[in-house]
């Protein structure tokens, strides 16, 4: 077994394809090239969301997870096409084959994104920058697509670096440049900092890495809990997470802590719809279809409950996720309670199911959702 050397001298590349689904569609359909193209749910359908948009469409403000109807309003002449997951999966397989020429330490994060540890590359090239250049060139030559690469000594910095010169980007952030780079980084770009944490940080006058660096580890932990410890390290450019080649996605979740407690069913359902859209688009991004939907509720007194429902078939539509989450919520008699967090997760991916156990769920499913699933 190959072992990863100590973190200080690692060479990590993060690769992310540019406008992935849209670029594949433009490659395979020359008539889409140079045009604003949206891949995802069609705007005529109910509840469709944008999976991704070509860079031409992004100029109009269109982005992933936006309702397709809104995308059409922003750019009435945009072209809309449905995703072809089998094709993207096959491209993804080919990209990974290219990676595997250089290393076996590959950790895919989704179909179009992966971390590579090239500290000991198979070909003995030695330079991570050179390897990233070769990978980008092979993706271009063999697949007629472009990718962006970030190179550094850890995962966190490599991932942020790959986003810097997108599309077709290449960015190396070496050890001596990391601290300055982290000091300039806005807090919302930090791993694990969501909307609410970013708001809290800003209200405390913390806008960049440099501001975070002024706090001691204890102060960070006091204000941000366990994550504080991670922020303390990361702002100093320390991220010891290993590239994990066999990591399996067991569940996919989205949740939100609200800036004020929700008390009306109407507000709760509206937030659930938004969270369901996030989970749904993440499931598309990861090409994972789950059979179990779990609702998480945290009340104002921090008491937390979860409620799940499993089906015999994978849940494939946004409407079904929304309907299930609402049913699970309704069963908790939420009206009048004070809710500070709602979350939805999908799990039980693509596993065969013994028939007997699930007959009941199937019947229930048909009653509840008709042909949504």
Report d(CA 112, CA 158) in Å as an integer: 15
CB nearer ligand DCP, residue 126 or residue 192: 192
Q: Bridge partners of 117? A: 12
Counting other chains too, the contacts that 180-186 makes at CB distance below 8 Å and 24 or more residues apart are 181/157, 181/237, 182/157, 182/209, 182/213, 182/234, 182/235, 182/236, 182/237, 183/208, 183/209, 183/210, 183/213, 183/235, 184/208, 184/209, 184/210, 185/160, 185/209
Report d(CA 232, CA 214) in Å as an integer: 10
Q: Which strand (E) or helix (H) includes residue 139?
A: helix 128-143
Report d(CA 71, CA 129) in Å as an integer: 37
CB 41 within 8 A of CB 62: no
User: What is the closest distance, in whole angstroms, from the C-beta atom of residue 112 to Mg ion in the complex?
Assistant: 5
Task: Could you list the beta-strand ranges (E) of 194-319.
Answer: 251-262, 290-299, 304-310
Determine the interface stretch with Mg ion among 43-51, 80-88, 106-114, 192-200 (rule: CB under 5 A).
Answer: 106-114
Instruction: Out of 65, 91, 118, 254, point to the residue binding ligand DCP (CB under 6 A).
Output: 65
Q: Of residues 253-282, which lie at the interface with ligand DCP (CB under 6 A)?
A: 281
CB 182 within 8 A of CB 236: yes
Q: Check 25, 113, 269, 319 and give the catalytic one.
A: 113
Instruction: Out of 26, 52, 68, 309, point to the residue binding ligand DCP (CB under 6 A).
Output: 52
Residue with the closest Cβ to Mg ion?
16
Which partner from the list Mg ion, ligand DCP, none does 292 bind, CB cut-off 5 to 8 Å by kind? Answer: none
CB 257 within 8 A of CB 221: no
Instruction: Out of 16, 107, 239, 256, point to the residue binding Mg ion (CB under 5 A).
Output: 16
CB nearer ligand DCP, residue 166 or residue 358: 166
Instruction: Out of 11, 14, 155, 285, point to the residue binding ligand DCP (CB under 6 A).
Output: 285
Residue 171 binds to ligand DCP (criterion: CB under 6 A): no
Catalytic-residue membership of 267: no
Half-sphere exposure of 368 (CA within 13 A, CB side): 20
Determine the interface stretch with Mg ion among 2-10, 15-23, 296-304, 363-371 (rule: CB under 5 A).
Answer: 15-23
Q: Of residues 3-22, which lie at the interface with ligand DCP (CB under 6 A)?
A: 16-21
CB nearer ligand DCP, residue 20 or residue 80: 20
* Site residues (vs ligand DCP, CB under 6 A): 16-21, 51-52, 64-65, 110, 112-113, 166-167, 281, 284-285
Catalytic positions: 113
* Site residues (vs Mg ion, CB under 5 A): 16-17, 20, 112
């Amino acid at each position: 077994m190959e072992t990863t050397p100590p973190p200080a001298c690692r060479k990590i590349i993060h690769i992310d394809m540019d406008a992935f689904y849209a670029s594949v569609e433009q490659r395979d359909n020359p008539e889409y090239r140079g045009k604003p193209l949206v891949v995802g749910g069609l705007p005529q359908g109910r509840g469709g969301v944008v999976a991704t948009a070509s860079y031409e469409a992004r100029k109009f403000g269109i982005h992933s997870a936006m309702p397709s109807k809104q995308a059409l309003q922003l750019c009435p002449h945009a072209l809309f096409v449905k995703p072809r997951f089998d094709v993207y999966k096959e491209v993804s397989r080919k990209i990974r084959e290219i990676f595997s020429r250089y290393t076996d330490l590959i950790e895919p994060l989704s179909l179009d994104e992966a971390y590579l540890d090239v500290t000991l590359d198979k070909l003995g090239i030695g330079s991570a920058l050179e390897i990233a250049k070769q990978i980008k060139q092979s993706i271009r030559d063999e697949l007629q697509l472009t990718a962006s690469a970030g190179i550094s000594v850890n995962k966190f910095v490599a991932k942020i670096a790959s986003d810097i010169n997108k599309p077709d980007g290449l960015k190396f952030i070496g050890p001596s440049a990391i601290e300055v780079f982290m000091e300039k980084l806005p807090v919302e770009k930090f791993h694990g900092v969501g909307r609410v944490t970013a708001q809290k940080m800003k209200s405390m006058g913390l806008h960049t890495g440099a501001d975070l660096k002024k706090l001691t580890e204890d102060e960070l932990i006091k204000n941000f809990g366990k994550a504080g410890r991670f922020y303390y390290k990361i702002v100093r450019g320390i991220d010891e997470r290993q590239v994990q080649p066999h990591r399996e996605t067991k569940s996919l979740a989205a949740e939100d802590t609200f800036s004020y407690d929700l008390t009306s069913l109407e507000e709760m359902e509206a937030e659930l719809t938004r969270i369901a859209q996030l989970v749904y688009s993440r499931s598309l991004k990861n090409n994972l279809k789950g059979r179990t939907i779990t609702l998480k509720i945290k009340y104002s007194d921090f008491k937390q409950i979860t409620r799940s429902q499993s089906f015999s078939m994978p849940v494939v539509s946004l409407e079904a996720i929304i309907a299930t989450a609402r049913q699970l919520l309704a069963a908790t008699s939420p009206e009048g309670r004070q809710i500070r967090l709602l979350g939805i997760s999908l799990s039980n991916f693509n596993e065969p199911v013994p028939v007997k156990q699930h007959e009941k769920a199937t019947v229930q499913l048909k009653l509840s959702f008709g042909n949504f699933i």
